[in-house]
Structure 1
Amino acid sequence: MKQTARVTVLGAGAWGTALARLALTNGNQVQIWSRRGPSDLATAVADADIVMSVISMKGVAALAGQLQVANLKPSTILVTATKGLDPETTRTPSRIFRDTFPDNPIVVMSGPNLSKEIEAGLPAATVVASTDVDALTLVQQVYSSETFRVYTSPDPVGAELGGTLKNVVAIAVGVCDGLKLGSNAKAALITRAIPEMLRVGVHMGAQVETFYGLSGLGDLLATCDGTLSRNYRVGYGLAQGKKLDQILDELGSTAEGVNTTHVLVDMANREGIPVPIARQVHRLLRGVITPQAAVEGLMERELKPEACDLKARN
């Protein structure tokens, strides 16, 4: 018999609303909390079995502090569905929650999950990742349905970084499509992005195999193939000559890949990680180069065997 739970979703955006509806449809008790809403955070999480955080990266550290003041129960499972890196510490959302709540089970949810398609009832799959098996089992039960298949993973770092790093690649792919460079260039870009993601992920403690699953390759393909991705639309708009501020205003919501790119390149510079695609996206976002120059910068790199990058582990 499927387990049910009391679920509090923190964040009332498109993805938070979709996750709330998925849990509600499965017969769980669900409430949504928003910073702009009337309900008190401490009251919203007081009796929750699962607290699902679906807020933008810039608000995660502050939210963790608020939850600490709210005296979150040690048994409450904290699930993060946010994809990004903290600009001050380079920590992922799950690392922030783990540092703040060392006694609580922490779960990462990540995968090829475009919220508009899930809201429309189209079939999708995701990964929930944690080192706590009991927490994984409950979250899997709460969210699994005929249209939303939930897999489990023991690698929360890899699941989270796959969903985070692909946003940088999505910006690059948006540029590629915006410049009408064709399917060959797009396929090459996405393929070359995988070893780059691997280098960063393994450096940060992730398992290689995770990047070839739903939260890595799966999320990368979904985010790089269509206008439903905010990060893709950032790259596409830049290729059309629009300014970044204008694009973000038109989106009306957060494109996490912008912040992630800046944080990633700073970290790569500091720790010596080769990230050629992210580096060109970084320069483009800062207005240092044009979209055409970014593509040329990638095409003019030194000639070498493909395997030398695929075998890179740090």
Structure 2
Amino acid sequence: MAKITIMGTGGFGVALAVMSHRFGHTVTLWGKFPEEINQIRSWGEHKKLLPGVAVHSGIHLTSDLEEGRGADVVILAVPSFAIRETARAAQSILGENTVVASVAKGLESGSQKRLSQVIEEEISDHSIVILSGPSHAEEIARGVPTTIVAASKCRESAEYIQDTLSNKTLRIYVSDDVIGVELGGALKNIIAVCAGICDGLQLGDNAKAALMTRGIAEIARLGTTMGADAETFSGLAGIGDLIVTCTSMHSRNHRTGILIGQGLTPDEAIERVGMTVEGCIATKSAYELAREKHVSMPIVEQLYDVLYRNKDIKQAISDLMGRPKRHENEKIWLQGGNEPA
């Protein structure tokens, strides 16, 4: 059994702590805000994010990061906007052989860097493992069977995380395609917002299925341009994560999209959801990356216009449906010198 420090008291951090303790690991759960730690300790659960999920008294809760020192594994479980600050703080408690993992999904605003790149800038002497795939915190915490991917440049570190965290309810595959796994996890949130808009507008199953299918095509197009393996996007970190995020009310991205589809402004929808909506943040980064890399991403472009340029949703849908005709086999267009759609 391992000694695990989890940084972040959001739903995923608490879920990982509950699961890891359930299967015999020694767990320290660190949170930045003492009042939140005290509430979880007092109530024995995270009432806002995981009501009804018991946080066992054997899980050490603390807002003093020094108490997380000496861990075999440190897991960063914070939103994308907090990943640099958290990685910088984590540096001070890492031992020589500590393996660093991250469950954050997104891109750094402004720089458009993948989160592993951000972490590596702050923790340069440890290999980083990215955990991604279809994995709602609500289900992990309750022991629902879940399968994810551990991606790293270092095979030994990825396999260590696989061996350490795998259990009767969590199956982990390993991958060396860090770029693909990270981009799949970050960009599917954009498509999930769009899927929610479809549901909010009551567009039906056909439109949503088309959106998801063409959405993964856009994600793969940008990903392979950036060096990812195309096969990754047909796996757990690609289509797997896309399906679960586009179809579940556990997804705050999906819920935000529903509210926008029902007539709320993006700001009103985000406020109603009340938590970080990674898909809205990632839309701006993906839009800028696509322009920089000269990659066609029409769904991303239309959502960007809706979120940041006040474009009417129905006009955005009309513009998507009215785009020039294309062949679905994108290689034909690539060979012909035209951009795929």
Deviates more, 1:228-237 or 1:99-108: 99-108
| TM-superposition CA deviations, 1:200-234 (whole Å, max 9, x none) | 11122211111111011100000011211111111
CA, structure 1 residues 20+80, in 2 after alignment: closer, same or farther (shift >3 Å)?
same
Matched-pair contact (CA < 8 Å) for 1:107–1:128:
yes
Counterpart CA distance in 1 for 2:107 and 2:204 is 31
Shift of 1:71: 5.4
Matched-pair contact (CA < 8 Å) for 2:105–2:115:
yes
Matched-pair contact (CA < 8 Å) for 1:11–1:53:
yes
Counterpart CA distance in 1 for 2:196 and 2:101 is 30
Verify: 1:40 aligned to 2:37, yes or no. Answer: no
Shift of 1:103: 2.1
Structure 1 stretches (4+) deviating beyond 6 angstroms?
Answer: none
Counterpart CA distance in 2 for 1:206 and 1:26 is 34
* Residue from 162, 165, 177 that aligns with 2:187: 165
Deviates more, 1:286-295 or 1:189-198: 286-295
Deviates more, 1:174-183 or 1:113-122: 113-122
Verify: 1:194 aligned to 2:191, yes or no. Answer: no
Verify: 1:62 aligned to 2:89, yes or no. Answer: no
Verify: 1:282 aligned to 2:304, yes or no. Answer: yes
Counterpart CA distance in 1 for 2:249 and 2:133 is 17
Equivalent runs, 1:212-231 vs 2, <5 Å: 212-231=234-253
Q: What corresponds to 2:25 in structure 1?
A: 28
Counterpart CA distance in 2 for 1:213 and 1:167 is 16
Counterpart CA distance in 2 for 1:141 and 1:26 is 13
Classify the secondary structure of the residue corresponding to 1:150. strand
Q: What corresponds to 1:144 in structure 2?
A: 166
Counterpart CA distance in 1 for 2:6 and 2:249 is 26
Classify the secondary structure of the residue corresponding to 1:152. strand
| TM-superposition CA deviations, 1:40-94 (whole Å, max 9, x none) | 22x14420111100101111112222233x2533321110100011112111111
Matched-pair contact (CA < 8 Å) for 1:77–1:104:
yes
Q: What corresponds to 2:177 in structure 1?
A: 155
Counterpart CA distance in 2 for 1:165 and 1:181 is 22
Relative contact order, higher structure (CA 8 A, sep 6+): 1
Counterpart CA distance in 2 for 1:141 and 1:310 is 43
Specify the code of the residue in structure 2 equivalent to 1:216. Answer: G
Deviates more, 1:248-257 or 1:273-282: 248-257
Matched-pair contact (CA < 8 Å) for 2:151–2:175:
yes
TM-score w.r.t. length of structure 1: 0.93
Counterpart CA distance in 1 for 2:286 and 2:68 is 33
Q: Percent identity?
A: 36
Specify the code of the residue in structure 2 equivalent to 1:67. Answer: A
Shift of 1:297: 1.4
Flag structure 2 segments of 5+ consecutive residues without an equivalent. 35-61
Counterpart CA distance in 1 for 2:328 and 2:193 is 23
Counterpart CA distance in 1 for 2:64 and 2:333 is 50
Classify the secondary structure of the residue corresponding to 1:224. helix
Count of aligned pairs? 309
Verify: 1:135 aligned to 2:157, yes or no. Answer: yes
Shift of 1:18: 0.7
Matched-pair contact (CA < 8 Å) for 2:181–2:238:
yes
